[in-house]
């Protein structure tokens, strides 16, 4: 490649919904005539793509429908052996006659420099422009045209989200730059002979030299003495560190006629900093909704638990938010901080709001109890398989839409009584309060494959089940076997299962919502009698299956959410199960 050009990127374009690549593309920038590539956003963006095999082909775009940054002079070349790429570009750019005054094609090829579809990412446009042929061939193609032969050059431009700023000529009301001091930047050898005050022995030597005629001329001495006298006055009459009560004195007048001085000291106020749009690197952005505790930000711990920031810090930030809201509320009603009753009203609003939101002042910790839905999802033998395929694509239809096919008992889901009871309640007929409640987790991890869970295993929890179910709430009993770790394997089908008498004991203890981390509370086999299903659902209860991460909520006071989809007349529904609790110090 010639020395006047720099290779920015060499690679291919990947087509949407296809494994075919348009290879043989090279992006180069002209570096002659003192071009500054560091101030060329397009060149820097393409340089950062080095090492990537391909960029994303997004489709065609009309040049007049987008804002383009033509600065940079980035050219695109196609390798002579890349036949498919050349044919594709010819069909897009050469099929329509070029009639524009700037001799550019009406359409261009839009290319993305990012893997995401975010509108804020950098996109470029490859277009063509007719230019005079630099090296006409010895045997030109026969033509009846008498015009100069032209060649279609491929160029790249950066797509801007807004129109580029227009450069306007200066106007008379534009601010004038500050006038520099008279001696600023003057190249003059300093001579101590111009001083009027004594500097010791050096002053005597200076006077002696002037007496001998070796000093500067009288005119130069007079100018220097005036300037140094002004400097001496400024240095000897420096203002005090505190606020001055006197008006502008002689030291201010020595600055010249163009100096601008405030009428009174203390008038200048430091402006408030604008609100920070992005967090500092040391302060990760919190996903708490106004730090009210609806969600918590942080890294995942084992079991899907989120690590939160200090509860004291979050509580302090929440109280500060309440204080600001109280001040704004009073200001909206015409009560400012200088009002006589501001403090009393502020304290009433702040304390009342803090008391009403006392349960939300501290952050909340969340645990995901759901299994992922993907190609490895376990379904009960005989149930419909799960599939999720594109129905509409962004490149063809302008939107991404997936077609989902699955049964009502796929993944983490809940069973309604209608699942086994002919006249049982449908999933949409159950109140939402039945799916939300405090959790009681029973540790049954000692159970082996296909081992029964008998009532003796649950007897230690009987009193707790009766107490909490008798408090008027909907207690959710969760049987933790630890079998969720086998999700996606054949071992998952060999889970422990609930004995009929144990299921009856659970119902007799007042429990109406049962959750398991297995495929079913009954044994998974072709000869299963579904005794546990019939007992629990026959009592009007609800069963949640395929739960996950129950070990994370074994200890503590957790609230479990198993809210289903509102599928009218259905016997069950997939859910996004999760648990939450208030973070305590």
Q: Report DSSP letters for 87-118, one per residue.
A: HHHHHHHSSS---STT-B-SEEEEEESSSS--
**524 has a pLDDT exceeding 70:** yes
Alpha-helical regions (H) of 421-479: 455-458, 462-469
In this prediction, residue 578 carries a pLDDT of 96
From the number of C-beta atoms within 10 Å of its C-beta (0-12, 13-18, 19+), residue 277 rates as: exposed
CB 388 within 8 A of CB 364: no
Q: What's the mean per-residue pLDDT of the chain?
A: 79
Q: Which of 43-47, 200-204, 339-343, 366-370 has the lowest mean pLDDT?
A: 200-204
558 CB contacts (<8 Å, ≥6 apart)?
367, 438, 439, 579, 580, 581
Phi, psi of 279, deg, nearest 5:
-75, 155
Calpha distance 207→214 (Å, rounded): 10
Q: Give the fold, CATH level 3, of 389-582.
A: Glucose Oxidase; domain 1 (3.50.30)
The residues carrying an active-site annotation are: 419
**358 has a pLDDT exceeding 70:** no
Phi, psi of 348, deg, nearest 5:
-65, -45
Calpha distance 153→150 (Å, rounded): 9
Alpha-helical regions (H) of 172-217: 201-211
Domains 5-135+147-160 and 389-582 share a fold: no
Calpha distance 345→54 (Å, rounded): 64
Measure Cα distances from 42 to 79, 188, 198, 583 in Å. 22, 47, 64, 48
pLDDT tens for 57-116 read 988 988 888 888 887 789 999 999 999 999 999 998 888 888 888 889 988 999 988 876
- Which residues are registered as beta bridge partners of 11? 25
Name, of 41-45, 149-153, 403-407, the range with top average pLDDT. 403-407
In this prediction, residue 307 carries a pLDDT of 45
> Looking up tokens 């129905």, which residue turns up?
391
pLDDT tens for 426-474 read 999 999 999 999 999 999 999 999 999 999 999 999 999 998 887 666 7
Tally of CB atoms within 10 A around 486 = 19
446 CB contacts (<8 Å, ≥6 apart)?
none
Give me the residue spans of the domains in the chain: 5-135+147-160, 289-364, 389-582
In this prediction, residue 238 carries a pLDDT of 55
Provide the percentage of residues in the chain whose pLDDT is more than 70: 70
CB 292 within 8 A of CB 315: no
Provide the percentage of residues in the chain whose pLDDT is more than 90: 39
Q: Please give the residue that has the higher pLDDT: either 146 or 582.
A: 582
391 CB contacts (<8 Å, ≥6 apart)?
401, 402, 403
Measure Cα distances from 530 to 386, 503, 513 in Å. 23, 11, 17
Phi, psi of 490, deg, nearest 5:
-70, -25
Q: Closest Cα to residue 28, out of 121, 155, 130, 129?
A: 155
CB 30 within 8 A of CB 71: no
CATH 3.30.460.10 at 5-135+147-160, yes or no: no
Calpha distance 461→554 (Å, rounded): 13
> Looking up tokens 């304390």, which residue turns up?
351
> Looking up tokens 């606020």, which residue turns up?
243
Q: Closest Cα to residue 29, out of 2, 66, 59?
A: 2
- 86 sits in which H/E element: helix 83-93
In this prediction, residue 283 carries a pLDDT of 42
In this prediction, residue 570 carries a pLDDT of 96
**Token couple for 330:** 């009073």
Calpha distance 542→413 (Å, rounded): 10
**550 has a pLDDT exceeding 90:** yes
- Which residues are registered as beta bridge partners of 300? 306
Confidence label for 334 from pLDDT (cuts 50, 70 and 90)? confident
Q: Please give the residue that has the higher pLDDT: either 394 or 301.
A: 394
417 CB contacts (<8 Å, ≥6 apart)?
424, 425, 537, 538, 540, 541, 542
């Amino acid at each position: 490649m010639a020395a006047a050009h720099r290779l920015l990127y060499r690679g291919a374009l990947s087509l949407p919904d296809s494994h075919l690549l348009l290879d043989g593309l090279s992006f180069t920038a002209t570096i002659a005539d003192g071009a500054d590539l560091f101030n060329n956003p397009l060149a820097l963006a393409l340089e950062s793509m080095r090492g990537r095999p391909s960029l994303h082909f997004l489709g065609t775009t009309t040049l007049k429908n987008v804002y383009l940054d033509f600065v940079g002079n980035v050219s695109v070349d196609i390798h002579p052996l890349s036949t498919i790429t050349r044919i594709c570009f010819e069909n897009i750019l050469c099929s329509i006659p070029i009639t524009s005054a700037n001799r550019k094609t009406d359409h261009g090829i839009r290319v993305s420099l990012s893997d995401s579809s975010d509108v804020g990412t950098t996109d470029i446009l490859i277009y063509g422009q007719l230019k005079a042929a630099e090296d006409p061939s010895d045997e030109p193609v026969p033509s009846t045209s008498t015009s100069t032969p032209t060649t279609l050059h491929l160029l790249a431009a950066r797509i801007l989200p807004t129109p580029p700023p227009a450069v306007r000529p200066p106007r008379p009301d534009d601010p004038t730059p500050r006038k520099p001091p008279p001696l600023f930047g003057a190249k003059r050898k300093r001579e101590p002979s111009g001083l009027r005050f004594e500097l010791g022995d050096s002053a005597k030597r200076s006077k002696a030299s002037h007496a001998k005629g070796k000093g500067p001329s009288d005119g130069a001495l007079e100018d220097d003495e005036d300037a140094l006298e002004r400097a001496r006055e400024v240095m000897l009459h420096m203002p005090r560190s505190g606020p001055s009560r006197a008006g502008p004195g002689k030291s201010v007048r020595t600055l010249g006629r163009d100096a601008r001085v405030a009428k009174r000291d203390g008038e200048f106020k430091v402006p408030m900093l604008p609100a920070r749009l992005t967090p500092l690197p040391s302060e990760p952005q919190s996903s708490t909704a106004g730090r009210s505790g609806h969600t918590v930000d942080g890294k995942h711990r084992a079991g899907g638990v989120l690590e939160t920031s200090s509860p004291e810090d979050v509580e302090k930030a929440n109280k500060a938010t309440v204080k600001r809201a109280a001040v704004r509320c009073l200001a909206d009603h015409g009560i400012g901080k200088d009002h006589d009753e501001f403090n009393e009203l502020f304290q009433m609003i702040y304390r009342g709001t803090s008391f009403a939101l006392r349960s939300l002042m501290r952050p909340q910790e969340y645990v995901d109890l759901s299994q992922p839905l993907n190609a490895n999802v376990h379904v009960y033998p005989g149930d419909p398989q799960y599939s999720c395929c594109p129905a509409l694509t962004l490149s063809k239809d302008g939107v991404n839409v997936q077609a989902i096919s699955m049964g009502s008992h796929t993944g983490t889901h809940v069973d309604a009584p209608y699942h086994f009871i002919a006249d049982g309640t449908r999933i949409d007929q159950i109140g939402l309060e039945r799916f939300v409640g405090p959790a009681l987790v029973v540790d049954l991890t000692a159970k082996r494959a296909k081992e029964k869970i008998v009532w003796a295993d649950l007897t230690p929890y009987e009193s707790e089940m009766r107490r909490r179910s008798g408090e008027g709430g909907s207690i959710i009993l969760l049987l933790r076997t630890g079998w969720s770790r086998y999700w996606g394997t054949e071992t998952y089908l060999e889970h422990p299962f609930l004995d009929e008498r144990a299921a009856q004991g659970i119902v007799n203890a007042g429990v109406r919502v049962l959750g398991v981390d297995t495929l079913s509370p009954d044994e998974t086999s072709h000869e299963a009698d579904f005794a546990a299903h019939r007992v629990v659902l026959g009592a009007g209860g609800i069963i949640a299956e395929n739960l996950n991460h129950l070990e994370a909520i074994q200890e503590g006071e957790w609230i479990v959410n198993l809210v289903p989809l509102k599928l009218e007349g259905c016997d069950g529904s997939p859910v996004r199960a999760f648990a939450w609790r208030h973070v305590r110090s």
